[in-house]
A and B are shown apart, each in its own frame.
Chain A
Amino acid sequence: MSKIPQELKYTRTHEWLRSLPDGNVEIGISDHAQEELGDLVFIELPQVGRRLTAGEACAVIESVKAASDIYAPIAGTVVATNEQLAQSPELVNHDPYGNGWLMRLKPAQASDQEALLSAEAYGAVAEAG
């Protein structure tokens, strides 16, 4: 059974979102997603400063068997990306909710997050495959 921390919000496309104290949000992929993808070999992250709309493809995660798009859970501007992933993409496999974070966004609108899934709701999505 994969881990689904209670304090995070999720999407149907297996991204998670964490609200940070400074008002920004941190984004990554779920434990379930990294398990499904297998060993990650390359992660292409967006340029800092890029403006994303909700649902926009903004990163690519490549494993030994597939390459998958990552979609922005909410609209916002990229304020940071996890530069460690260039050398160590396996951090996403080992610690998807911690050191394996992908990027941080400055949200465009506060209301955006209401469309996201709770841990329970996402658990049902992940279980359904």
Chain B
Amino acid sequence: MLALLGVREIDALFDEIPDALRVSQLQGVGPGLSELEIMQLMRARANCDGAPLCFLGAGAYEHHIPAPVWSTVTRGEFYSAYTPYQAEASQGTLQSIYEYQSMMVSLTAMQASNASLYDGATALSEACLMAVRANRRSQSARILWPRSVHPHYRQVAQTTAAGQGLQFETLDYDRSGHCVLPELAADADLTALVIAQPNFFGVLEDVHALTDWAHARGALVIALVNPTSLGVLSPPGQWGSAGADIVVGEGQPLGCPLSSGGPYFGFMTTRLQFVRQMPGRIAGRTLDLDGRPGFTLTLQAREQHIRRAKATSNICTNQGLLMMAGTLYLALMGAQGLERVALTCMARTQELVQALCALPGVRLAFSAPRFHEAVLLFDRPIAPFLQALAAQGIIGGLDLSVHYPELGPALLVCATETRTGADIERYARALGELLT
């Protein structure tokens, strides 16, 4: 191939890049391996993970995934991670996106959904940028968010929006774990309020009051929700008297396995009036020239392949494969199945909290109702306990001292429907032995 191109060696193809910008050797990356050697290496590395008993949530959750989900997703017809080009030639893919959108609209009680985004954190970033475009009464690009929004999400949004003049202001939380609204001047110009439900501590916010507070001040409401929780909680479209304006979240709990942090998918839904401000692709249902139903990508003029630098967003794809898993998961579970999963998660977490709070020196941080996570306060630093538990094959939760040092030694724990009573007992016994 090099001969065909008329160059002697592969390096010649990179001549354009100045020497100063080139890296001759990647640290820690060895020379190339054969397929066989790669498989052996990866298998050995994967085995190092073992099969730990997981009580860690903090944004990614272990749920049971019905077998048909991935046996269907991995069929050749679906096994592409990407939005198709020549999209209308792939009617099946477009229909799957359309079905996904319909389910997300129904789950969140909104009017329009895009075809998915990269993950929950980038979905929140996009929602903040979208709110600035959509809220035409506001000139401030000022966004309020509680400290109890996932710290990583806030970091990602701040990085993404840094060059775009958005101002983020952080709201504190009270002793019950709820976010505290600020006193604002009557004419304060507010672009949006982010409401996390549940928040990062697992606590359920008074979303109706928060939504009405924001709307009364001309701000849009960005709902950041766990999709599993919508099996039992009010959908954002029904928050307060007018409902949330933009809904985003991490789609991983819907049929995507935990795998070193990804790939996952983000979801986003909104009101019809803001649909042109929404980033990403949208599949629509229409009629062809002969009057037969078909599917098409719609509202593409706002996307970057047409609008170039002035596009709504630089997102021009979706997480097709993971979105497909989410669609199949929702289709298989149905509304009742999702409700049962949500209720079981809540019950398991309640059992976990009771078991751990019975141990000496462990108590619950926040009194407010919660979904499937809780913050536990310890009288000694958390890290040594987590290490000792890991040595016994138990992932005990997330040490909050890095992101929330003001809490003192604090541990975020989670139990989903996959944790049994025996699992919880095993955790409590192991921790009890370490504490005494």
List residues of chain A with CB under 8 Å of any chain B CB: 41-42, 44, 47, 62-67, 69
Contacts and interface: CB of A to CB of B under 8 A. Distances in A.
Given A44-B276, A69-B310, A62 B302 contact: yes
A42 B276 contact: yes
Interface string B127-154: 0000000001100000000000000000
A57 to B, nearest CB: 8
B136 A47 contact: yes
A93 B276 CA distance: 21
Nearest to B137: A47
B306 interface: yes
B307 interface: yes
B368 interface: no
A63 B137 CA distance: 26
Given A62-B276, A62-B302, A67-B301, 19 more contacts: A41-B301, A42-B276, A42-B301, A44-B276, A47-B136, A47-B137, A62-B301, A63-B301, A64-B301, A65-B301, A65-B306, A66-B301, A66-B306, A66-B307, A67-B302, A67-B306, A67-B307, A67-B310, A69-B310
Contacts of A42: 276, 301
Place the interface of chain B in its size category. under 10
Interface in B295-314: 301-302, 306-307, 310
Contacts of A62: 276, 301-302
Nearest to B136: A47
A62 B276 CA distance: 10
A69 B307 CA distance: 10
User: Which of A42, A47, A63, A67 has the most C-beta atoms of chain B within 10 angstroms of its own C-beta?
Assistant: A67
8 pairs of A and B residues whose beta carbons are closest in the complex: A67-B301, A62-B301, A67-B307, A47-B136, A66-B306, A67-B302, A66-B301, A67-B306
Contacts of A65: 301, 306
A42 B301 CA distance: 10
Contacts of A44: 276
Main secondary structure of the interface of A (DSSP, over half): strand
Contacts of A63: 301
A62 B136 CA distance: 19
Contacts of B276: 42, 44, 62
9 contacts: A41-B301, A44-B276, A47-B136, A47-B137, A62-B301, A63-B301, A64-B301, A67-B302, A67-B306
A44 B136 CA distance: 11
A67 B276 CA distance: 11
Contacts of A41: 301
Contacts of A66: 301, 306-307
Contacts of B136: 47
B216 to A, nearest CB: 20
A41 B307 CA distance: 15
A107 B301 CA distance: 31
A66 B302 CA distance: 8
B298 to A, nearest CB: 10
Nearest to B310: A69
Nearest to B307: A67
A67 B301 CA distance: 5
A25 to B, nearest CB: 23
A63 B299 CA distance: 10
Nearest to A62: B301
A114 B306 CA distance: 34
Contacts of B307: 66-67
A105 B150 CA distance: 46
A54 B266 CA distance: 40
A64 B122 CA distance: 29
